[in-house]
A and B are shown apart, each in its own frame.
Chain A
Amino acid sequence: MRELFAKLSRRQAPTENDVDSEILAHIELRMDDNIAAGMTPAEARDEARRHFGNALLTRERIRETWRFPRIDSFVQDLRYGLRGVRRSPGFALAVILTLALGIGATTAIFSVVYNVLLRPLPYPGGERLVRLGEVAGRANGISVTWINYRHWRAENRAFEEMAATEQADFTMTGRGEAQITHGAMVTPSFFRITSAQPQLGRLFTDADDQVGAPGVAVLTWEFWNKTFAADPASLGATLVLNGNPYQVIGVLRPAARVLMSRADYYVPIGPVVGRKISRAAHGSIGVIGLLKPGVTLSAARANLNEIMQRLALSDPGPESSHRASAAFLTESIVGDVRQTLLMLMAAVALLLLIACANVSGLLLVRGAARTREIAIRTSIGAGRARVARQLLTENLALSLFGGGLGVLIAFGCLRALIALAPTSLPRLSEMALDLPVLGFAAAVTIGTAALAGLVPVLAAGRLDVASALRDGAVGSGSAIRGQRLRGALVIGEIAVTLLLSYASAGLIRSLIAAQHADPGFDSHDLLALGLQVSLAEYKTSDQVRQFYVTLTDALRRQPGIFDVALVTCPPGAGDCGDWWYSPLDRTVLARADVPVTLFLAADVSYFRTMGIRLLAGREFGPGDRAGSPLVTIVNQDLARRWWPSPQAAIGQRIKFGGPYNEGGVVEIVGVAANVSQMGLDGEKPPQMFFPWAQDGAFPAFLNSASVMMRTKGNPAALIPAVRRTLSSLNRDLPIRSLKPFDEQLGATLARRRFSTLLLGVFATLAMALAGVGIYGVLNYWVSVRNREIAVRMALGARRPTILRWAGWQALRLAFAGIALGAAGGWSAARLLKSMVYGVSERSPITMLLAIVVVLAIVALAAGLPVWRATRVDVSRNLREA
């Protein structure tokens, strides 16, 4: 330690006093010599001063040497590097473009990853926000009942604050055409959790959140601008939602939103749900909690479960076994996008790696050309570290250009990404190239410079100065040694390219398979009309039913429409409601084993109109109405789980709701083929259909439904006629969607298309970069061997021989790279498992496809250099030798 200290202090700058005394001593010593040589003291002093020269300048230069020595030499290196760049613009351009591509693509993807996975939520304490729900046995993520929420909020010790929320779409009338608007029903605490502030007016108070309180609404800033033209006088105006008046009491300040991001306005939830007093009366309430600092998730869960256990004793009911679930909001928002994003990030990192290898290769070639220059610099006293620093600085200068251009590319890419991305991607609107992302770009740039520069610098470090100075032309020992390194880089590039091609080919085959997947019905020539009728206008479910029946009758009379059907949840729409069920012919299941099924209502013509095959039994008929025996049609998946054949399922009875929850007993009258309920590439889970006209097993939510129309010819041509028919029945009914069903179903593949497209782009870029790399290396290989080839040809080698020899060089690299990439792709394939559809993640055909494509790229890139090898001018090369 003391030694180190001494060493450091020894390297300290001399003080001003030291410098002055030293210069003075210098002059005096000269004076002494002069006097000894016979001068008078005055002459001696004058001569000594003259001889010393400019003392002021010397003093200044001494001080300069000690001032930021490193920065000084850095600037010197930089200037030197830039001069080098100007001398070989082709090389510089190749390096900068390669880096810009790699850094740009990586930065763009990172900004998506950062926004979706990493960026803190735009709420204070966002990392402590928790999404709460109820769990029961296998059923997860059950909505919280209003009463349970009230108990949780009042009795917990783990949360600072808790809020209940529910999304609700309301039909807004009285402002031009009727339209569907997105409302958010929340408790006043929601604004505290999200720290929302009013721009105008006020937010809710507890008094607004009571049953019977007059309707009030707080508008989002966006909705206020869009619908009220940002008019300050809109405070106090009335919104008519589902026929009920709500007074506008406030407008929120503009702010980033993650919770309730689609909401146009907020209304208090209490007046809507506050009448429910059963602990088992579920709506769609979601609960958000803000954990107290230092409280863990499991402690919070345990605390809520204590409350649930207490309630099970004091207020027992069918749901006494329900417990609480809790998950951090940051995680629950991301959901299943994580896998896709991480895959894309890995792919783009591989792309960056290829770019690095390419730049390394370019630098190596240039390094070989500069061997003599470096040797001279080393021999005139530049230390090895100094030379290494010099080379690194040059690389850094190139990388900075590359990085700068890369950020511009990333900016363009990001805008394209946002335009292309499926709307289901969370937090899309927040995406921008902001500080953390730019920091990432800078780090990647510097990292790339270091990584790409490492190999050439190490190669230069081992440089044998004497032989480099002695050897004349390029093509001597050291150049050939570098060739091996460059070969290794190319092998790595080919391997990584194959990896990306394999993954990309797997996804492309999956997309094709998904697009041609049998949806279980005929999706062509089908027009779908999505509607939501206002419950204020149609107060009973009979009125709702009657409206839809009148509509379908009117549409059926329309020329060009063969058949019309009603369904609450068409294929591709996903989960519009699920509930427990249990077959009555089984022993009573344990609570945790009760299975869950999707359920929906369909009318008599649904299966016929859609072309869904019935495997057994019958369709719904006019006899399945209120008062007749309760019936259901189940899908194949549900039937297969319990009975050996579809026929065996007919006549069996199911307790809807299972043994422990409400719901009627229904008889199976038909088994229908599976349809793509969860989207074209989704699973086909159990489903139960109930007759449209029967209000038996469970209160059906019929107000939101789809009218499916089988058309003659192009379904889009009928859209105006359908609009006319609808408005002749009800002018104030907004259309939720009206499009050919093929289009609607195809939209379920949006995310798959997005990730396939991106990975395809990366694989293509990788191929282009690898192609350039292969070309560069082989081209150099040929130039280095011009003389050798000339000698061989002079000794009688024919062109085919040379062709084979040079071609073998390319093939050797290709085979090594392909072997490596294939092995890597095969073992990493399980990472693709959740992303492929209809093909195996380990498919020899996919691998073969990828290998063929990579070989084609190698052939393309190697063609020109190999051809050049056969065209070497024998006489000129031999004369020069």
Chain B
Amino acid sequence: MSTVDHPSERLEFLQGTLEVLILRCLQRASNHAYGISQLLTQQSDNEFAVDNGSLYPALQRLLQRGWIDAAWKVSPNGRRARYYKLTASGKRQLAVATSKWRRFAEAMARVLAPEE
């Protein structure tokens, strides 16, 4: 390869990836937007830059497709926040997308693998 990536720059989301990651964040428990962004940053070892200008629209798109639900709840530290939770079809979508992404990533990796 002729050019090398700069590890100090955070990764931009490919189109469609953020939605899948949000679904994954909600798999175990419902969460609010701030919690989702924290989870993403931590679990990707600070690789993903979660911009609220992308996160919120992505949440709206998931709401529109019926993959997540929103409801106001009180957080453990007593703040009222809007909690998102996976719906049944959201769970199915997560399973499908996970399998696809895994194959895609493998395919990418195979193609990009350094030649012998």
A residues lining the B interface (CB < 8 Å): 7, 10-11, 13-14, 18, 21-22, 25-26, 28-30, 32, 52-55, 57-58, 61-62, 64-66, 69, 378-382, 465-466, 469-470
Which of B17, B20, B104 has the most chain A CB atoms inside 10 A of its CB?
A: B104
Taking a contact as CB atoms under 8 Å apart, the answer to whether B16 and A381 are in contact is yes
A residues less than 8 Å from B72 (CB atoms): 21
Asked if A469 contacts B56 (CB within 8 A), the reply is no
Is B79 in contact with chain A by the CB < 8 A criterion?
Answer: yes
Q: Quick check: is B103 within 8 A (CB to CB) of the other chain?
A: yes
Which chain B residues lie closer than 8 Å to A382 at the CB level?
Answer: 16
Do A10 and B34 touch across chains, with their CB atoms under 8 A apart? no
Chain B residue with the shortest CB-CB distance to A465: B100
How far apart sit A26 and B52, CA to CA, in the bound complex (Å)?
Answer: 10
Q: Mark B59-76 against chain A: 1 for CB-CB distance below 8 A, else 0.
A: 011011010011010010
Within 8 A of A (CB), among B72-95: 72, 75, 77, 79-82
| B interface majority secondary structure | helix
User: Closest approach, in angstroms, between the C-beta of B64 and any C-beta of chain A?
Assistant: 6
**Interface band, chain B:** 35 or more
Q: A32-B79, A380-B14 are in contact. List 14 more A-B contacts (CB 8 A).
A: A11-B64, A25-B82, A26-B81, A29-B35, A32-B77, A53-B51, A58-B52, A62-B57, A64-B57, A65-B64, A379-B100, A381-B15, A381-B17, A466-B103
Please state if B64 and A53 are interface contacts (CB–CB under 8 Å). Answer: no
- Cβ-based interface call for B39 (8 A): no
Q: Is B11 an interface residue (CB 8 A)?
A: no
Is A29 in contact with B79, judged by CB distance below 8 angstroms?
Answer: yes
From A7, A28, A29, A378, residue with most partner B Cβ within 10 Å:
A29
Judge whether B57 and A25 touch: CB under 8 Å.
no
| Chain A residue at minimum C-beta to C-beta distance from B87 | A10
A55 to B103, CA, bound (A): 37
Return the contact of A61 from the options B16, B32, B56 (Cβ within 8 A). B56
Contact of B53 among A57, A378, A379 (CB under 8 A): A57
- Closest Cβ–Cβ distance, residue B61 to chain A (whole Å): 6
Write out the residue numbers on chain A whose beta carbons fall within 8 Å of the beta carbon of B75: 29
Interface residue SS majority, chain A? helix
* Chain B residues in 8 Å Cβ range of A62: 56-57, 60
Contacts of B81 in A (CB 8 A): 22, 25-26, 29
Q: In this complex, what residue of B is CB-closest to A28?
A: B79
A53 engages B60 (CB within 8 Å): no
Would you give the shortest CB distance from B60 to chain A, in whole angstroms? 4
Query: B8 → chain A, closest Cβ, in Å?
Result: 19
Residues of chain B within 8 A of A26, CB atoms compared: 32-34, 52, 81
Report B57 CB to chain A, min CB distance, Å: 5
Flag if B20 contacts A381 (CB, 8 Å): yes
Interface residues of B (CB under 8 A from A): 14-17, 19-20, 32-35, 51-53, 56-57, 60-61, 63-64, 66, 69-70, 72, 75, 77, 79-82, 97, 100-101, 103-104, 107
Q: Which residues of A contact B51 (CB under 8 A)?
A: 53
Contact of B82 among A21, A30, A469 (CB under 8 A): A21
B32 and A29 form a contact (CB under 8 A): yes
Closest beta carbon of chain A to B89's beta carbon, Å: 10
Chain A neighbourhood of B101, CB < 8 A: 379
- CB of B15 within 8 A of CB of A61, answer no
Contact of B66 (CB < 8 Å), options: A7, A54, A58, A69: A7
Q: Are A10 and B15 in contact (CB under 8 A)?
A: no
Closest to B20 in A: A381
Indicate if the CB atoms of A65 and B82 lie closer than 8 Å.
no
Nearest neighbor of B104 in chain A, beta-carbon distance: A379
Q: Roughly how many angstroms separate A14 CA and B80 CA in the complex, as a whole number?
A: 16
Does B56 lie within 8 Å of A58, measured CB to CB?
yes
**A26, B15: Cα distance in complex, Å:** 24
Q: Are B80 and A52 in contact (CB under 8 A)?
A: no
Chain A's nearest CB lies how many Å from the CB of B104? 5
Pairwise interchain contact B69-A10, C-beta atoms closer than 8 A: yes
**CB neighbours of B32 from chain A (8 A):** 22, 25-26, 29
Contact A65 B57 (CB under 8 A): yes
Residue of B nearest to A14 (CB): B70
Docked-complex contact B66 and A10, CB < 8 angstroms: yes
Q: Which residues of A contact B103 (CB under 8 A)?
A: 379, 465-466, 469
Contacting pair B82 A22 (CB below 8 A): yes
Rounded to whole Å, the gap between the CB of A559 and the closest CB of chain B is: 94
**Please, which residues of chain B bring their CB within 8 A of the CB of A14?**
70, 82
18 contacts between A and B (CB under 8 A): A14-B82, A21-B72, A22-B82, A25-B34, A26-B33, A29-B77, A61-B57, A62-B60, A65-B64, A69-B64, A379-B103, A380-B15, A381-B16, A381-B19, A382-B16, A466-B107, A469-B103, A469-B107
Establish whether residues A380 and B16, one from each chain, have CB atoms under 8 Å apart when the complex forms: yes
A-B pairs, top 6 by smallest CB distance, nearest first, are: A381-B16, A65-B60, A380-B16, A25-B81, A29-B34, A26-B34
In whole angstroms, how far apart are the Cα atoms of A14 and B17 in the complex?
24
Closest Cβ–Cβ distance, residue A202 to chain B (whole Å): 69
In the docked arrangement, what's the CA distance between A502 and B76, Å? 82
CA distance A133 to B104 in the complex (A): 80
Q: What CA separation (Å) do A65 and B63 show in the bound complex?
A: 11
Within the complex, what minimum Cβ distance (angstroms) separates B43 from chain A? 17
B111 to chain A, nearest CB (A): 9
- CA distance in complex: A594, B3 (Å): 103
B105 to chain A, nearest CB (A): 10
Report the separation of the CA atoms of residues A111 and B33 in the bound assembly, to the nearest whole angstrom. 59
Chain B's nearest CB lies how many Å from the CB of A390? 13
Q: State the CA gap A379–B19 with chains docked (Å).
A: 13
CB distance from B45 to the nearest CB of A (A): 18
| Interchain CB contact under 8 A, A18 and B60 | no
A21 to B34, CA, bound (A): 13
CA distance A805 to B56 in the complex (A): 60
Among the interface residues B52, B101, B103, which one has the most CB atoms of the partner chain A within 10 A?
A: B52
